[in-house]
Amino acid sequence: MKSIRMTGCFFSLLAVISLPATLEAADQADIKQPVNQRFSDPASTEVPQFQQHVVPLLGKLGCNGRACHGSFQGKGDFRLSLFGYDFTMDHQQLTDKDAERINLKDAAESLIIQKPLNEIEHEGGKRFEKDSWQHRLLLSWVKAGANGVPKEAPKFERLIVTPDAIQFKKEGETVSLNAIAVWSDGTREDVTPLCRFQTNNEQIATISEEGLVTAAKPGDTHVVAFYDAGVIPVPVLQPVSEQYGDKYPQIAAATAVDKHVVNKLQKLGMVPADKCDDAEFLRRVSLDISGTLPAPHEIEAFLKNTSPDKRSQKIDELLESPGYAAWWATKLCDFTQNNYDDLVNVSPVRERPSQDWYDWIKKRVANNVGYDKITEGILLATSREKGESFEEFTKNINAIYQDKPGTDITDRDHMPYYWARRDLRNPDDRVLGFAYTFLGIRIQCAQCHKHPFDQWTQNDFKQFRGFFTRVNFGVNPESKTEYAAMVDELGADKLRGNQLLRELSKEVKKGKDVPFMEVYVPKARPANKNNKNRKNQNKRRRNAQTPDTAKLLGAEVVQINELDDPRTALMEWLRREDNPYFAKAFVNRVWASYFNRGIIEPADDLNLANPPSNGPLLDYLSREFIRRDFDMKWLHREITNSDTYQRSWQTNKTNEQDEVNFSHYIPHRLPAEVLYDAIHQATASDDAIDSMKNSLSDRAIAIAASGTRNRAMRDQQYALTIFGRSTRENNCDCDRSVDPSLLQTMYIKNDNDVYSAINRTNSSWLFQVGQQLGAVQKPNAQKEQMSDRLEKLQKQAKVAKQRVAELRKQDDKQKLQQAQKRFKELNGNIRKVRQMASKAGNSPAKLQSFDGPISAEKSEEIITNTYLRSLSRYPTEDEIASARKYLGDSQNKIDGLYDLIWAVINTKEFMLNH
């Protein structure tokens, strides 16, 4: 497993960190002294416990680490469970008679004693000194019989670490951590010497093997203690200035978000940046919410607006825009991994599943359906709706794909294609996909061993897998006969696999009904009490991998054989207020979309050793998100209406190094789709800009799926790839990238796609200005007549097409036939006019050279509009003067204007959200 860089801050306290009042009041004599004291005494007769002492000591010594015997291959034919989670296996390995690691007759001759002392050659070198407490502990265990974990042994309950937070004042100060293990029999023991420790940022604080924390540079991070299943992060903070605590200046905090952020900044002595100006805000929020640059006329109107509520009004307006639904549906398709390549063989109409998936989500985002209900429609999805027979199912799906009136895939309750993906066909893959998508956790480590940064073990993974073992995709056995009969009737009974799908695709496009494969959940097999058949039944159950129970992560065991669909238990768990992942994972991802980093970072890696930089902030947003029925628009409003979101990117001395506490806005490169659209919008005419904002047909932010076979993104494939569009191939948000590269620079500077965007005929800003200057070569009178006629016909055809689309959703066949006939006639007339124009030898209007003078007023208007449509602000006086001089010195003013547009979109300011 790859190592991850984890940073954290002061507020990531878990319930288990705080020292309970009962412990504070308890007699210290009730807590066992640490083993380094008890086993330093040569006269000690205590017998160490395998789980409580021996295995943690092996972990402390590094024996069961990834670089030693905890690796998959082990070392020297000796393998331990990674970080010591499988006590049975570890005991068997240690006591293997053939290996002679334990010598019960002469404990000192045991290999596990001699090798760590380096008395026998040991690749790991000396791990402890002779007669040290470590030596005596292991020796005492072997002498007592080297016993494992008895059945009646107490269970580990929790780890308590004190202090639960550390605030230093200067570099070099130290604080010692103390760790108490609590067991189910009431035993409390100081296990500090047995804990493993790590720091999440050694530039802020270091920690020794003994738990001594030393302050380094000012800032904040976490140190983490590990013991058994306990993973406890402790926040460490050192103010960055003298302006902390009572000396902190008065900072307005009108929203709950701001109060939590400022409360943290006050402890750090970090003064937040001022609010950004209106132009910066409008560009920032338009790109973030709708994935779209504001139009020049919007900018001018917004800057002139004197209403004190204009920012919140603009946020509300953007949340109702087509761009919002398109862009955030794209983000949800990232998390749920809508990949065209993984869906090509799930339907006879191959291009539809990924588009259906996107459209189904987009409709719900536009209608502000609760995030939990969207999740329910995916998580509990089967291809058939409740009570729908196979015959009804095939009839309904065929009607949708044949575009019959009143049918729309988005009207169905479920979106089953999440479970139909070819990369999600086995239970292990489903566990990984579900945990990533809906919980924001990376649980793949627990497939093979204990998670290095969390509580999850291989056993947790296996028990959780039970929820996904009954989900299937293919021909439903209950409808196998009906499916085969439909194939026979179509004469395709001898075809299989892709050949069959291709044939069915042809038939459905001809208007014939074809069978569809399904996502389905078969009933659980009841236990067979007949002893004679039990052996065969157990064999079938193992092969089918359908256990009777499954365990929710960190929660209870569920009797899934009593449920029609085990996934219903998962959905109920996700909605619970005590679920520690579902709401937080989404809230954290939304926050990361606005700030380019999550409150937990990486945003899809919620684990105990990677705590939030501001725990109360994440808790507040998650709690209110649940309380408001998972209202996504509420979450967007709550974040974007805050001063925290609206702060300037310009820093002061106290916050210039801050990257995790949201004291200022951090500029970041636009996402691939947003940047691609921005290039084409910034170079477009006024009419084309309005069209892009209202129609999403050619927008990159509205491309349904990723994948190399996706024809919908053929023209944009190269650009979106180099700018890091999510590939949706792995369980990781890192599939999307905003990192810069040389290819990106070359694309913006030299690619023909950018040249074409600037030089578009009729719909570019360059062409629009050329018309104003009289630099457009006009076609002859016949061409003008043809163009006017063609334009009118195209407008009429567009209206007719919309009418056909509306009538398809209604059950009025007569009106639909009339509308279709009218649409067909108009298309025929359009073809005729184009043929006539071609025979006449006419050429379209095009730009020509212009070397005449441009008035100072007109020049400033052109320059201002160029800046507004690209950088969403007015140019400065220096920028106007520089651009005016360049245009004036250009022999061909059209070439000069091209250079101006090209130069502006090649600036960092254009490429970044700031």
Instruction: Tell me what pLDDT residue 819 has.
Output: 80
Residue 893: pLDDT above 50? yes
Residue 420 lies in a domain: no
Whether residue 31 is predicted with pLDDT greater than 60 in this model: the reply is yes
The type of residue at 525 is R
Q: Which of 825, 844, 863 is at the close of a domain? A: 844
Residue 343 within any structural domain of the chain: no
Q: Which of 88, 92, 59 is nearest to 78 (CA)?
A: 92
pLDDT digits (tens, 9 = 90+) for 467-486: 999 999 999 999 999 999 99
How many distinct structural domains can be found in the chain?
Answer: 2
> Model confidence over 170-197: pLDDT tens digits?
999 999 999 999 999 999 999 999 999 9
- Using alpha carbons only, give the angle 67, 71, 73 rounded to the nearest 5 degrees: 125
DSSP reduced 3-state for 208: coil
**93 domain residue, yes or no:** yes
Cα-flanking dihedrals φ and ψ of residue 293, to 5°?
-70, 145
Of the two residues 255 and 534, the one the predictor is more confident about is 255
Please, where are the H alpha helices in 683-780?
686-694, 717-722, 742-750, 752-758, 765-773
C-alpha distances out from residue 476 to 386, 473, 484, 501, 897, Å: 15, 8, 11, 16, 63
Tell me how many degrees the CA angle 164-170-175 measures, rounded to the nearest 5: 35
- d(Cα 251, Cα 262) in Å, to the nearest integer? 7
**801 within domain boundaries:** yes
Whether the Cβ atoms of residue 314 and residue 636 lie closer than 8 Å to each other:
no
Amino acid identity of 327?
W
For residue 753, which of 709, 722, 712, 711 has the smallest C-alpha distance? 722
Alpha carbon separation from 278 to 178, 275, 646, 651 (Å, rounded): 51, 9, 9, 18
Structural domain ending residue among the three candidates 791, 809, 844: 844
The three-class DSSP label of residue 213 is strand
Of 143, 175, 199, the position where a domain reaches its end is 143
Residue 20 is predicted with a pLDDT of 43
| CA-based nearest residue to 161, from 20, 6, 11 | 20
Residue 78 has pLDDT above 80, yes or no: yes
Query: Could you tell me if residue 578 is inside a domain?
Result: no
Mean pLDDT of 632-657: 97
Read off the pLDDT of residues 361-392 as tens digits, 9 standing for 90 and up. 999 999 999 999 999 999 999 999 999 999 99
Q: How far apart are the first and last CA of the chain?
A: 35
Q: Residues 822-848: what's their mean pLDDT?
A: 73
CB 192 within 8 A of CB 183: no
**Residue 16: CB atoms within 10 Å:** 17
91 lies in some domain? yes
Using the predicted structure, report yes or no on whether residue 26 has a pLDDT greater than 60. Answer: no
Instruction: Kindly report, residue by residue over 711-767, the tens digit of the pLDDT.
Output: 777 778 999 999 999 999 888 888 999 898 999 999 999 999 999 999 887 788 998
Ordered alpha helix ranges (H), 523-566: 531-544
Residues 832-841: pLDDT tens digits? Answer: 877 776 665 5
CA distance 444 to 254: 42
SS3 content of the chain, % helix, strand, coil (to 5): 50, 10, 45
What mean pLDDT is predicted for residues 26-49? 86
pLDDT band at 257 (very low <50, low <70, confident <90, very high): very high
Neighbours of 771 (CB within 10 A): 15
The CA R_g of the chain, rounded to the nearest whole Å, is 33
CA distance 311 to 323: 18
Structural domain of 139? 50-143
C-beta of residue 873 within 8 angstroms of C-beta of residue 809: no
Distance between CA 317 and CA 295 in Å, rounded?
A: 14
Write down the residue that tokens 């052109």 correspond to: 862
Q: Which two tokens stand for residue 276?
A: 């950004």
**Residue 159 DSSP class:** E
Confidence category of residue 202, pLDDT binned at 50, 70, 90: very high
| 782 vs 669, more confident | 669
Amino acid letter at 355?
Answer: Q
CA angle, 596 as apex, 419 and 3 as ends, to 5°? 70
What is the DSSP secondary structure assignment for residue 215, as one 8-state letter?
E
For residue 114, which phi and psi values (nearest 5 degrees)?
-70, -40
Residue 131 within a domain:
yes
Question: Does residue 516 form part of some domain?
Answer: no
